[in-house]
Amino acid sequence: MRILHHPGDCAVDRPCAVTIGAYDGVHVGHRLVIERVRRVAAEQGLASAVVTFDQHPAAVVRPESAPKVLTDLPQKLELLASTNVDHVLVVHFDQERSEESPEEFVREVLVGCLSARAIIVGHDFHFGYKRRGNVPLLQDLGAELGFDVTGIRLLADEPGGEPVSSTRIRNLLAAGSVGEAAALLGRPHQVRGVVARGDARGRELGFPTANVAVPNEIVLPADGVYAGWYYRSDGIRRPTALSLGWRPTFYEHAGMSLLEAFLLDFDGDLYDEEAKVEFVAHLRPQVKFESVQELIDQTTRDVATTRRVLGAADAR
């Protein structure tokens, strides 16, 4: 996959079949659209291309209510690379871009950069200033500028069901339903961050944890205890019991949620390394225990449950 940037390097060596969107999460619905793009490109002798943005457009258009994102740009590009698309064009999105007319965007980016000959988007796709661009407008411009437009129905996970969307996945994560979210993502939800130094309380309890500092703009599931996987830079995944929350047994008032990862059967220094953490199953909510021993006993049970859950998941 070749990564292109606009403005900047965006010239292609042949015309493209293109899809456009934020592609947050690169979920199973996104992958279906990209597969359609690749099929059309193969049939017509075109290159396949995804146009996306360096930040979620809502972060510029409505920053006060913009959603947290499922993937940052590096992770999104990794996931797009796994689709075997030929090109990804990353468009810089700022205030000026948000005020651009859909006609300008089509002429400058889709035709000017990618020589688009086919455009495939969801049937309810909107773009450009005040979301004025849509499939009918694309079709009118296509008749003038020489590209075909296909608006396809969004994928639903069951007949007549709600379409798969990044918003729906965020809502599932907010409810702690990480298994359902994984089904729509096509993989467990993964977050990334640097392992920071904490108060060493986990080590005192016999369960030393890595405190993963996840950037604030990334979606985290609901507070609770989870079974999951931890990836170090060597690429090996390690079974992990995850605690996400403000540790009510030790702190009276709620604060910022802290992600603590206890790696099973591991003893080593994790400080300052880049971690990747996946949420596989929700085990229980955060609970305030009456004593430290109660917490230790429950954590022991959580570790046993994590081992059992991940063993079953790995066997599938």
pLDDT in tens, 147-159: 999 999 888 777 7
- Torsion sign, CA atoms 97, 99, 105, 107: negative
**More confident of the two residues 174 and 246:** 174
Q: Kindly tell me if the per-residue pLDDT of 131 is higher than 50.
A: yes
Question: What is the maximum alpha-carbon separation in the chain?
Answer: 73
One-letter amino acid identity for 134? N
Pair type for strands 2-6 and 87-91: parallel
pLDDT value at 205 more than 60: no
Least confident of 61-65, 118-122, 134-138: 61-65
Which residue intervals of the chain bear CATH 2.40.30.30? 187-315
What mean pLDDT is predicted for residues 273-283?
A: 96
Q: Where do you find CATH 3.40.50.620 in the chain?
A: 2-152
Mean pLDDT of the 211-228 span: 95
Q: Which fold has domain 2-152?
A: Rossmann fold (3.40.50)
Closest CA to 97 of 52, 140, 146, 30: 52
Between CA 20 and CA 49 the distance in angstroms is 9
The number of helix segments (H) and strand segments (E) in the chain equals: 10, 12
Highest mean pLDDT: which range of 3-12, 75-84, 240-249: 75-84
Predicted confidence at residue 154, as pLDDT, reads: 83
Summarised one tens digit per residue, pLDDT across range 239-255 is: 999 999 876 554 554 55
pLDDT of residue 61: 92
Give the confidence band of 276 by pLDDT, cuts at 50, 70, 90.
very high
Q: Is the pLDDT of residue 264 over 60?
A: yes
DSSP 141-204: HHHHHT-EEEEEPPPBSSTT-PBP-HHHHHHHHHTT-HHHHHHHHTS-EEEEEEEEP---HHHH
Q: Which fold is adopted by the domain 187-315?
A: Elongation Factor Tu (Ef-tu); domain 3 (2.40.30)
Q: How far apart are CA 74 and CA 152, in angstroms?
A: 27
What does the pLDDT read at residue 207?
74
Q: Return the higher-pLDDT residue of 19 and 158.
A: 19
> Which amino acid makes up residue 131?
R
List Cβ neighbours of 124 (8 Å cut-off, separation of 6 or more): 134, 151, 154
Question: What pLDDT, on the 0 to 100 scale, is given for residue 307?
Answer: 95
Check: CB of residue 89 under 8 Å from CB of residue 114: yes
Which residue from 3, 28, 24, 20 is spatially nearest to 180, judged by alpha carbons?
28
Q: How confident is the model at residue 11 (pLDDT cuts 50, 70, 90)?
A: confident
Range name among 178-182, 191-195, 285-289 with the lowest pLDDT average: 285-289
Using DSSP's 3-state secondary structure scheme, residue 286 falls into: coil
> Which residue, among 240, 214, 220, 219, has the nearest Cα to 305 in the 3D structure?
240
Assign 257 a pLDDT band (cuts: 50, 70, 90). Answer: confident
CA dist., res. 66 & res. 126, Å (int)? 17
The span from the CA of 79 to the CA of 111, in Å, is 25
CA distance 154 to 37: 14
Q: Is the model's pLDDT at 184 over the cut of 60?
A: yes
Return the pLDDT at 252: 54
134 pLDDT exceeds 90? yes
Cα 207–Cα 208–Cα 213 angle in degrees, nearest 5: 125
Rounded to whole angstroms, how far apart are CA atoms 234 and 215? 22
